[in-house]
Amino acid sequence: MTKAKLKAGETVFGCFVRYADPGIVEVLGYQGLDFMVFDAEHGALGPRDCENMVRAAELRGVTPIVRVTTNQQPVILRFLDTGAQGVQVPWVSSGAEAEMAVRSVKYRPRGIRGLAGVRAADYAQTIPLGEYVQQANAETLVVIQIETVEAVERLEEIVQVDDVDVFFIGPTDLSHSFGFPGQLRHPTVQEAMDRIAATVGRSNAALGTFVSDAAAAREWRERGARYIVVGLESLLSQAVRGFLCAARTE
C-alpha cells in the first residue's frame, strides 16, 4: 500500500523500530502508520528478528521495510526473504552503488536477487514462482539513502537510476560527513539538503527524510518530502514527558 500511495502522489508516514519485539510492532500497527522501518543498520536486528516483526506488521496492514546493514546482495537477499516489502539501503554515494542496490532487490531480468520458496514467496504455496517474481519486482519498495558529501556531489547520476522509489536524506550522517556532526541547521548542511530536495523533485522518485517531531514533519512536507519517518524513541520521549508534565501540574 505504501508504494501505491507514493505512486499516487500521497505522503506516507512511518516509524523506525530497532528493538527485536514483535509486540511493539503489533501495538504500533494500531496507530495508523503507513509503514515501519525495522532498523538493522543502527539496531541489533537479524533476519529472524525481522521475519517475526514483519508478521506483526502484516496483522494491521502496515508495510514492513528493513533498513539493511550494508549495500550487499547477500545481505539484502536475507532480509527480503523474511517477507519485508521493501528495503532502505544506507550509504549510497554513486550511481553505480544505487544500481547495485536496485539489482539486489529485483529478480531477473532487472536484477540478480536469488529465488527460492521462502516466506516472501509464501513458501511457494499460493502462486507459481514465476508469477511471484513479477509481483515482487512490481511491488517491492526501494529506498536509497543520501547521506554523504560524495552522494551530494554525484546526485545527478544517482537520481537517474531506474526503479528507485524514494531517495532518503539521512540528516545526521549527512551533517557528520560535511564536518558538522548533529548540526542539522548549519547553513552548509541545509544547503546540501535543499540541493537534494530540488534534484529529487525533478526525478520520478519521492523525497524522504527522518524527522524528530510533527513540526519537522510539516516543514519537510513543505520542502517536498512524501516519505517521512520518525524514530520510536522520539515518539516515546515526547509522549512520556507530555504525560508527566500534565499529570504533575497542580
pLDDT number for residue 21: 97
47-57 as b/e, with b when 16 or more CB fall inside 10 Å? bebbbebbbbb
Distance CA 63, CA 54 (A): 8
- Residues facing residue 167 across a β-bridge: 144, 207
CA torsion through residues 1, 18, 21, 68, sign: positive
pLDDT value, residue 70: 97
Is 186 annotated in the active site? no
Reported as a single tens digit per residue, the pLDDT across 36-62 is 999 999 999 999 999 999 999 999 999
Q: What is the pLDDT of residue 108?
A: 98
> Cβ(20)–Cβ(44) under 8 Å?
yes
What is the per-residue pLDDT for 119?
97
Report the distance separating Cα 197 and Cα 112, nearest Å.
Answer: 30
Distance (Å, rounded) from C-alpha 118 to C-alpha 107? 14
Fold held by 2-248: TIM Barrel (3.20.20)
Can you say how many angstroms the Cα of residue 18 is from the centroid of all Cα atoms in its chain? 13
- Choosing from 10, 23, 42, 70, the catalytic residue is 42
B/e letters for 183-217, b = 16+ CB within 10 Å, e = fewer, are ebeeeebeebbeebbebbeebebbbbbbbbeeebb
- DSSP per position, the chain: -HHHHHHTT--EEEEEE-S--HHHHHHHHTTT-SEEEEESSSS---HHHHHHHHHHHHHTTPEEEEE-SSS-HHHHHHHHTTT-SEEEE----SHHHHHHHHHHHSPTTT------S-GGGGGGSSS-HHHHHHHHHHH-EEEEEE-SHHHHHTHHHHHTSTT--EEEE-HHHHHHHTT-TT-TTSHHHHHHHHHHHHHHHTSSSEEEEEESSHHHHHHHHHTTEEEEEEEHHHHHHHHHHHHHHHHH--
Q: In this structure, what C-alpha cell is assigned to residue 76?
A: 539484502
pLDDT at residue number 180: 98
Instruction: Give 19: exposed, middle or buried? Use CB within 10 Å, 0-12, 13-18, 19+.
Output: middle
pLDDT of residue 128: 96
Domain layout of the chain by residue ranges: 2-248
Q: In this predicted structure, what is the pLDDT of residue 18?
A: 97
> What is the maximum span of the chain, computed from C-alpha positions, in angstroms?
66
Provide the pLDDT for residue 250: 79
Instruction: Collect the ranges in the chain with pLDDT lower than 50.
Output: none
